[in-house]
Structure 1
């Protein structure tokens, strides 16, 4: 795995549809546990007794988020620009949440133009993913959530590719999905891997569905002005801070 350092600076009808969505959720079957070498190849952190700066960085990030949010909150991770490492941070933050044996994590790949999580984790989304679920009301969400080989960590990939997610992410079905997943798994943390802020409105729309927002800036790549402009897209009450990512 490429070494990386991260640092954060903390600054009725509807009811029936919710119940119907909830009934469709089933547990995810775990895959064979990946080895440390396999996880390094997937650029994913793992528990170890050795001192590893990147593992400690994501544990610290998780700890700081737990200090500012309560319950099984939903975290949106969005990069300032393409190449800043937002997907890397989202994946490893989700892995850090899953370190706690009493908790679990669900990583949701919301980058519809450039999905990467299923490829990085070597997962074949044979049943589709998020967009397939949102497009087809007959699809059971349990069919499109995949084990990753990391204990306690599951992946909901994007599935079908789309140019924009605006109409999907602002839909009632998307909101019901997250509400149902949260309600049926009170010990699960969800991490939404968003597209870069620059270029599409998707990250801003997804922020409405999240409890906290983490912005990822590429170290020595994104200027202070670009970071400030990207941060201004989010509600200050939800904005947790900026992760400076190096070496993705």
Structure 2
């Protein structure tokens, strides 16, 4: 695995009663170091490693902007293949390092979902689009263990012709509100489609508190990066992660 090089700056919903439990699900299995490496997931260890430190640093910078509160982070690539899913997955793992915090990834790329495949999860109960499409689908059904303590995944779900149109629905707003308020120590990360692929990243940015843009190092040129960044509210835009080769 390779590390991101740098981060550069530049109807009221009904709120559920907060549950301060770190994780609602007991871990049934924990991945070994070899399995984590196979899935391109960092692990916390006593041996300092550049890629682990890079994600811990990114996590700490984002937390410093939130005044101790949890938040929703959109991670979106400038263009396909820039490695946003890798960054999203490992940033989530870094949040889950601490035993009083947890993290959840929502795969919000209905056109090219990858998190469940990379993490070797079979989404037999469906995923995000199934939940947003069908009011009878229970939230607990679409939350999957990852084998990483305190890290959960909501996979993209069954694709259909509506794709990202679900992201602007009331049910999507209510879902995020429920997830962030039920577990105040849980950080939500949205793995979004590339900015260059259409308007969905911008729609998701409206739901997020923080936006992290991922550029492929040596792949996305400065003009493309600037054009992608211009799609986001400057007050939410945390910066650009330059990702090498993943």
**What is residue 120 of structure 2 aligned with on the other side?**
122
Per-residue Cα deviation, 1:19-71 (whole angstroms, up to 9, x for no partner): 6xx9xxx9234230101110000000011111211000000000110111231
1:112 aligned to which of 110, 113, 122: 110
**What is residue 60 of structure 1 aligned with on the other side?**
57
Once superposed, what is the RMSD of the aligned Cα atoms?
1.8
Matches of residues 1-248 of structure 1 in structure 2 within 5 Å?
2-11=1-10, 15=13, 27-70=24-67, 71-163=69-161, 165-248=163-246
Instruction: Give SS of 2:173's match.
Output: helix
Deviates more, 1:30-39 or 1:114-123: 30-39
How far residue 10 of structure 1 moved from its aligned partner, in angstroms, is: 2.6
Instruction: Give SS of 2:195's match.
Output: coil
1:83–1:163 distance in 2 versus 1, CA, 3 Å: farther
Per-residue Cα deviation, 1:135-180 (whole angstroms, up to 9, x for no partner): 1111110110001000110000011113553320000000000001
1:87–1:163 distance in 2 versus 1, CA, 3 Å: farther
Instruction: Give SS of 1:198's match.
Output: helix
Instruction: Give SS of 1:143's match.
Output: helix
Q: How does the TM-score come out when normalised to structure 2?
A: 0.93
Structure 1 spans left out of the alignment, 5+ residues: none
Structure 2 spans left out of the alignment, 5+ residues: none
Moved over 3 A (4+): 13-16, 162-166
- Between the aligned partners of 2:89 and 2:5, the Cα distance in structure 1 is 13
Instruction: Give SS of 2:8's match.
Output: coil
1:7–1:172 distance in 2 versus 1, CA, 3 Å: same
Per-residue Cα deviation, 1:45-101 (whole angstroms, up to 9, x for no partner): 011111211000000000110111231100000000001000000000000000111
- Between the aligned partners of 2:160 and 2:239, the Cα distance in structure 1 is 29
- Does the aligned pair in 2 maintain the 1:28–1:145 contact within 8 Å? no
- Does the aligned pair in 1 maintain the 2:76–2:192 contact within 8 Å? yes
Instruction: Give SS of 2:241's match.
Output: strand
How far residue 229 of structure 1 moved from its aligned partner, in angstroms, is: 0.1
- Does the aligned pair in 2 maintain the 1:105–1:188 contact within 8 Å? yes
- Between the aligned partners of 1:206 and 1:152, the Cα distance in structure 2 is 24
- Between the aligned partners of 2:227 and 2:56, the Cα distance in structure 1 is 28
Q: How does the TM-score come out when normalised to structure 1?
A: 0.93
- Does the aligned pair in 2 maintain the 1:28–1:146 contact within 8 Å? no
Instruction: Give SS of 1:54's match.
Output: helix
- Does the aligned pair in 2 maintain the 1:29–1:147 contact within 8 Å? no
